[in-house]
Structure 1
Amino acid sequence: MQVRELTEKEYLESLNLSMYAFQYKVQEADIPARKEAMKNHKILGIWDENRLAAKLHIIPFTIFMKEAEWPMGGIAGVATYPEYRRTGYVKALITDALKHLRNDNQIVSLLHPFDISFYRKFGWEILNEQKKITLEKINLKFLEPQPGLIRRFSKETHHEALEKMYEQICTRHTGMLKRDTKWWKEHVYDDDSQVAVYYTSENEPKGYLLYQVKQRKLDVEEFVALDHEARVGLWNYICQHDSMVETVTLNLASQDPFPYFLSQPKVQTEVTPYFMARVVDAEECLRKLPFLQENELIFLHLEDTYAPWNNGSYLLGNGEMKIYKEKTGGQCAHPPKKGIQLNINSLTAILFGYRRPMELFEMGYLKGSIKEMELFEKKVPKMKSAFYDFF
């Protein structure tokens, strides 16, 4: 079994496999544009003689880790023809993809899973949860009037204020995708999307809704409020649709305070895991994360089955990191037995802020003394993961 990168001449083979596996059809006139977009992808494939049997796409992105920006390799388009399933082809593709991610300095990877347990085996872990709120018309109760105003935009009148507000909310979270104008227009907006921006009385944009209204339903795809004034102003704008809609749905980050601030917060709420993330280069990620309690030393003993370059012990503290890798000739040869034992899934959940060290310790995912666990809890800054996009 050999994994190799597809050439441009083979892009149609990749597209045909995607259409079969994901059950959609690309019109003949749209194929050139699809093939052009693939030039930004690294597509890995396995062949059966002259036929593409399985493939995987790696897409280069950048994500925000609060104020910092990290290079990320997005995994997408993982597909196999049914006659080649359960042959180990996807495992081979993922294993090879991890090497490509590392070689391309994409220190973390994100994907949207068809099955969480499948990708957990390979080291990806839940990045975030989405909260879906469903409100009936009776719930559309105005709150106190705000001094600002709403201006509406669309894909055709896209305004840079949206991009600036989005980046501001990104710096409060981990994992969110860095968007340029092209991404906004091609991947954020749908044909029916509208945007409502809340401006303060000083004409400062402080929040926006990305939404659609049709068939007497208002569907909010992104609700971004930089302060409470904007949050209330946007909610009141939603309420202005009370004569037009029967239901309103909002897709939110799980930690969003909505609907707490409503006069009647008892509404239908669904919380569902969304994207997954993986640390590809543990050393680089640990160096980049701004740990607290720098004068305190702690050992992390890390296990990573599918990215063995991460296996080893990491001593954190005093503003530096020492690495113990007996088998690969690291900086030191004999790590101590004390410290915290964890796998790459747990490290990923901690570094992105999806789970705290003590939570994972209580569930049995981290091993070590309670004293070491309490220190690790103090060292890891409090962060909130979020992800709005899809690829």
Structure 2
Amino acid sequence: MKIRRLTNEERPTLSWPIQGYAFERSPMSATELEKYQEHLPYHEGNVTLVAEDDGGTRAVVSALPMRQNVRGGVFAMLGITGVATQPLARRQGHVRALVTRMLGDMRDEGYAVTALYPFRPSFYARFGYVGLPRPRTVRFSPADLGELLRADLPGELRWQRIREGYDDYRAFTERLLTSRHGFSLLPDHRAVQLRDRDDRWLVTAVADGEVVGALTYTIDGHGGTLLGEDMLTANPLGRALLLQFLARHVDQVDRISVVVPADESPELWATDLAIQSETRVVFPTLGAPMARVLSVEALRGISVGPGRVRIEVVDDPYVAGAYLLDGGSDLGAGAGAGAGAGRLDVTPGAGGAAASVPTATLTAAGISALVYGVLDPDELPLRGFGDVPAPAAAQLRSLFPRTMPYIFADF
């Protein structure tokens, strides 16, 4: 079995047939296949590996070169997608070999973190991935926003087709990338598909000449539902302006649906607002995201609390080794860091660490869970993610306070 990287021109004949069989209605008609070819420019910068033998392509894994905010630092993130195997070649280890090669190659090319949406989390847990929260879908009646409709808010609203407002929308997401933990962005070559499809409305909230909120949406019909996607806000004013816009649809739609981060509290948006909030996780079609760290040293400079601890990462081909983590070093202000935040210093090896420095043994999922802020150190042994004595747990808890990552891009 041979593993190699495809060119973009090879995708329609070598990778897309297998990925289409796995993720699309199958078999596709000739018209559908021809339409599929139009997507080629949006994959130009993607990385795709295939496993081949004399019989042809057996399995495929693709990755998008993305960016992600991790505790104030913006890093090259590898978004794994399109993992598929030809039916007769399944359960033979081809995907395992492809993912192993992909992660190793991309780590060597400078990718510090990676994320994906799993068809089965236990499969990717073997690669060191740890689960992250899925955003919530919130549904409510526009009639419940009457108080906001009557409010005199500073700022203005702009309403456009997405093609018209795409540049402002993209610029706003770039700003959020620097300030929101976990926020990730698709590469330009893929993101412009939203603009080119032009099948959504865009409303933006503007205050003092700056975009402070944005929402893309569609309406499924008169008396139906306004289907919003991620409600992106920079501050409470941006959210209030967007909600005021939604309130104006009281005589047009019966319900409004928007997507918000897992740490949002929509029940507090308005006094008489009745909501239905839901987080659905269904496999293989609607998994919660997973992520992992590909380089501990690359995290130097992220925003952390005070603390000093030695960790030994085990059973991993990418980050195994010993590291001294120190939150007392002042390495300069990083993007999106809070006032007075500490900066992480990472010393590989850590052989010279003082005997008084506590030590924890972690798996790749264990260090990833701490960095992303989704688990407390005391939870790691319970999940099989490491051995964390109490003194080390105290230091790790201080270094990596719990925080809720928000992966914006769906890939």
| TM-score (structure 2 length as normaliser) | 0.82
Q: Give the equivalent residue in structure 2 for 1:312.
A: 321
Residues 43, 189 of structure 2: 8 Å contact kept: no
Check conservation: 1:126, 1:276, Cα contact below 8 A: yes
Matches within 5 A, 1:352-391: 352-360=372-380, 365-380=385-400, 383-391=403-411
Q: Does residue 185 of structure 1 match 2:192?
A: yes
What residue is the counterpart of 2:338 in the other structure? none
SS of the aligned residue for 1:98 comes to: helix
CA distance in 2, matches of 1:342, 1:272: 30
Which of 308, 314, 326 is the matching residue for 1:297? 308
| 2:333 alignment partner in structure 1 | none
Please state how far the C-alpha of 1:338 moved relative to its aligned partner: 4.9
Whether the 8 Å CA contact 2:230–2:408 is kept in 1: the answer is yes
Kindly provide the CA deviation profile for residues 139-195 of structure 1, in whole angstroms up to 9, marking residues without a partner as x.
443333323332102223125432333233333322322356654431478543111
Counterpart secondary structure, 1:92? helix
1:170 matched to 2:177? The reply is yes
Q: Does 1:270 align with 2:281?
A: no
Supply the distance in 2 between the matched residues of 1:163 and 1:23 (Cα, whole angstroms): 28
2:32 aligned with 1:27: yes
Aligned partners of 1:71 and 1:105 also within 8 Å: yes
- The worse-fitting range, judged by mean Cα deviation, of 11-20 and 154-163 is 154-163
In structure 2, the residue matched to 1:18 is 19
What letter corresponds to residue 23 of structure 2 in structure 1? F
Mark the CA change 1:249 to 1:228 in structure 2 (over 3 Å): closer, same or farther. same
Q: Is 2:91 the counterpart of 1:83?
A: no
In 2, the alpha carbon distance for the partners of 1:265 and 1:137 equals 9
Secondary structure in structure 2 of the residue aligned to 1:129: coil
Q: Is the 8 A contact 1:173 1:384 kept in 2?
A: no
Displacement, 1:340?
A: 1.4
- SS where residue 133 of structure 1 aligns? strand
Q: Which whole-Å CA distance do the structure 1 matches of 2:240 and 2:38 have between them?
A: 41
Q: Relative to structure 2, which stretch is displaced further, 126-135 or 378-387?
A: 378-387
- Inter-partner Cα distance in structure 1 for 2:249 and 2:9: 51
CA distance 1:219–1:50, shift in 2 (3 Å): same
Alpha-carbon distance in 1 for matches of 2:94, 2:354: 36
Contact residue 127 and residue 175 of structure 1 kept, 8 A: no
1-side partners of 2:243 and 2:111: how far apart? 39
| 2:71 and 2:303 in contact (8 A); partners too | no
Distance 1:83 1:106 in 2: 33
Residue of structure 1 equivalent to 2:228 = 220
Distance 2:315 2:325 in 1: 19
Query: Which of the residues 295, 319, 323 maps onto 1:281?
Result: 295
1:198 aligns with 2:214: no
Cα 1:269/1:364, change in 2 over 3 Å: same
Residues 52 and 58, structure 2, Cα contact 8 Å, conserved in 1: yes
Are the counterparts in 2 of residues 212 and 220 from structure 1 also a CA contact under 8 Å? yes
CA distance in 1: counterparts of 2:390 and 2:99, whole angstroms: 36
SS in 2 for 1:195: strand
Question: Which residue is equivalent to 1:235?
Answer: 243
Alignment root-mean-square deviation, CA: 2.9
1:345 to 2:365 alignment = yes
**Residue of structure 1 in register with 2:262 after alignment:** 254
Equivalent position of 1:4 in the other structure: 4
Cα offset, 1:332, TM superposition = 4.1
Shift of the alpha carbon at 1:291?
A: 3.2
Q: Return the match for 1:93 from 86, 94, 98.
A: 98
List alignment gaps of at least 5 residues for structure 2.
282-287, 330-344
Q: Report the Cα offset of residue 359 of structure 1.
A: 4.8
1:115-139 CA-to-partner distances (Å, cap 9, x unmatched) read 2222112111223321111224554
- % same residue: 22
Aligned equivalents of 1:175, 1:360: Cα separation in 2: 20
> Cα distance, 1:206 vs. partner?
1.9
Distance 1:230-1:58 versus aligned 2 partners, 3 A rule: closer
2:340 aligns with none
**Would you say the 8 A contact 1:17–1:80 is kept in 2?**
yes
* 1:344 CA displacement: 0.9
Shift of 1:41: 2.2
Cα pair distance change 1:179/1:118, threshold 3 Å: closer
Mark the CA change 1:194 to 1:151 in structure 2 (over 3 Å): closer, same or farther. same
CA contact (8 A) 2:116 2:289 kept: yes
State the SS of the aligned residue for 1:83. helix
What secondary structure, in the 3-state scheme, does the structure 2 residue paired with 1:158 have? Answer: helix
Q: Is the CA contact (8 Å cut-off) linking 1:172 and 1:384 kept in structure 2?
A: no
Count of matched residue positions in the alignment of Structure 1 and Structure 2:
379
2:172 is aligned with 1:161: no
